Amino acid sequence: MSLYRSFLRWRVRHVSEQSLLLVLAVVVGLLAGLAAVALKTVVHYAGALVTRLSLLGGGSSAIIFLLPLTGILLTMLFVKYVVRGEIGHGLPSVLLAISRNRSRLPARNMWTSLVASTLTVAFGGSVGLEAPIAGTGSAIGSNVGRWFHLNAKSVRLLLGCGAAGAIAGIFKAPFAGVMFVLEVFLFDLTATTALPLLIASLTASTVAYFLMGTDVQFKFAIGEPFALSQLPFYIVLGAFCAAVSVYFLRVTDRVEGWFARRRNPWVRMLLGGLLLGVLVVLFPPLYGEGYASLTELLHGNPDSLFAGTLYGSWAGNAWITIAILLALILLKGVATATTIGSGGVGGTFGPSLVIGGLSGYFIAMLCNQLGLPQQSTANFALVGMAAVMTGVMHAPFMATFLIAEITGGYELLVPLLTASAVTYLCVSPFERHSIYARKLAAKGDLLTHDKDASAWHLMNMNSLIETNFVVVRSGDHLRDLVDSIQNSRRNIFPVLSADDKFLGVIVLDDVRKIIFRPELYDTVVVDDLMHPLSEGDLVRSSDSLSDVVEKFRVGNRYNLVVVDDEDNYLGFLSRANTFSAYRRFISDTSDE
């Protein structure tokens, strides 16, 4: 411990904070990259082991039916008996920590999501690994910053470095990692943030390339170049993906809400596991992340959707394939929400990617079957992936860079940007915030690019209330007021009733001439000296700080009395303290 403290003192004297941040960005990127590689590797082998064991058991539908339930059960047991607490709700919990907790995340978040999501996905839980690994990277960055006793602004930046590194590592896409943090975590792009984020992403990608080779999540080379005449069809794809995105957001809300109303967690687990089992038996592509089926589609093998199904004999029928694609688009959100709502751990990043690929393939096949100009199903699938990610996560540039990087080129840049823009414009009137931020925004718990508005929403008014005012009671005499003045350092004295209801104030300047006249001590009553206050002088505890600021501005007041909704006195808010707290908040949350 003494060595650790000596190191911290040496660091403060010899290493500037900016230089240290660049070094720590490398460290955080390295750790996030290793975590991403570890997660993908463990899930791959765990999934292969589960598959092998199920085949040894005959590989029957009954075994497949029970696998998701088994995974959710193991996840719940891990959380209950090993973690012994809440893991947190993925990226929303990270956004909440940024907004409300000075970017501090528990140290256990560096590993708990990795284990829990492995148990869920390896046994067929229909969720993604990207959100858990991004949460893990965020926790790594947050804790590294705290270990070095950095300020809140630097801890927040390292948290972002961890998330960027995690996404870059899992997809080997460094620019997508940077854009993920800028768009999803709502960081401002400045010279201060850009370089550490890029360093962390490049470090994590390098680690992933070194340990896992040059293959990417969806290794695919563009075979059919984009032609300008196809642009109207990509616009249609963008509009369709917007509808799919809104549907996905709404259905996940509804399904998770339905499970949340089941109070008993074991009942939730049983209902969700059984429902998910039915879905994966009927539609095997819903099993696990779904990337295997998406990869098969990208390589022109739609018949893979029929493998191991009750309707396998219909493989090769284009219209049946289109119907299956539509069913998968509609049911993937249900399967994802069921997995999470019943106790599984995972994210919606991967499912949105899969749904986007299915949507693009669906539109291309539909155009081809209707006799319209032939479209590339693979290209449409890739563009659909970006479009649905844009609609669900409100991250068009991240989605565009991700698809461009995983395909190894920018041949589809125009359709990617076009479809993503159309999707974003169509989704925005219905959903103003991403899937990760929408619930936080509804509660006023989201730090946005508008730091000024965020400050008044996120600052805690109760912490600013000053209570060191000496009160006097209705019916007291001047003698009592003089005693209060002797015991107070303030020049305002709230007057309360016997049951603590606020009645008004006495200002020292108004009584200065009579407090030196002892003959009045027992004849003058404080009620005669009191100033009753209007609503413009009062703040309700239920008011927001933006309401407080407006009262300060309109009334040009230096102090406001705080009462609850029943007029019980709570204290005072001062203009000076309120705006000092505002300046501290802006300083802590600014990316410059």
3-state secondary structure 144-191: HHHHCCCCHHHHHHHHHHHHHHHHHHHHCCHHHHHHHHHHHCCCCCCH
In the structure encoding, which two tokens stand for residue 318, read together?
């284009």
**Mean pLDDT value across residues 294-313:** 85
Tens digits of residue pLDDT in 112-143: 989 999 999 999 999 998 999 999 999 999 99
Tell me how far apart the alpha carbons of residues 346 and 133 are, in angstroms, rounded to a whole number.
9
pLDDT at 581: 76
Q: For the chain, give the percent of residues with pLDDT over 70.
A: 92
- Amino acid found at 557: R
**Mean pLDDT value across residues 548-568:** 80
Tens digits of residue pLDDT in 501-523: 888 888 888 788 788 888 887 88
The band of 582, judged by pLDDT with boundaries at 50, 70 and 90, is: confident
In the structure encoding, which two tokens stand for residue 526, read together?
């404080």
pTM: 0.81
Picking from 430, 403, 383, the residue whose alpha carbon sits closest to that of residue 233 is: 383
327 CB neighbour count, 10 Å cutoff: 16
**Mean pLDDT value across residues 65-74:** 92
Location of each CATH 1.10.3080.10 domain in the chain: 14-212, 228-263+274-444
Element containing residue 505 per DSSP (H, E):
strand 502-507
Mean pLDDT value across the chain: 85
pLDDT at 216: 61
Q: Tokens 């449409």 map to which residue? A: 380
CB-based contacts of 125: which residues, under 8 Å, 6+ apart? 68, 71, 72, 75, 276, 288, 339, 344, 346
For domain 455-589, give the CATH superfamily.
Answer: CBS-domain (3.10.580.10)
Greater confidence (301 vs 13) lies with 301
**Mean pLDDT value across residues 81-87:** 82
Location of each CATH 3.10.580.10 domain in the chain: 455-589
pLDDT at 408: 66
Helices 17-56 and 152-171, axial angle in degrees (round to 10): 40
Greater confidence (574 vs 387) lies with 387
Picking from 155, 143, 300, the residue whose alpha carbon sits closest to that of residue 221 is: 300
The band of 55, judged by pLDDT with boundaries at 50, 70 and 90, is: low
- pLDDT score of 589 more than 80: no
pLDDT at 321: 93
Sign (positive/negative) of CA torsion 51, 55, 60, 66? negative
- pLDDT score of 457 more than 90: no
Terminal CA-to-CA distance of the chain, rounded, Å? 33
Phi, psi dihedrals of residue 494, rounded to the nearest 5°: -70, 140
- pLDDT score of 456 more than 80: no
Picking from 343, 337, 275, the residue whose alpha carbon sits closest to that of residue 75 is: 343
**Mean pLDDT value across residues 275-299:** 90
CATH number of 228-263+274-444: 1.10.3080.10
Residue 16 CA from chain centroid, whole number: 31
The band of 92, judged by pLDDT with boundaries at 50, 70 and 90, is: confident
Picking from 356, 401, 419, the residue whose alpha carbon sits closest to that of residue 226 is: 419
DSSP string covering 314-330: GTT-HHHHHHHHHHHHH
**Mean pLDDT value across residues 195-200:** 94
Architecture of 14-212 per CATH?
Orthogonal Bundle (1.10)
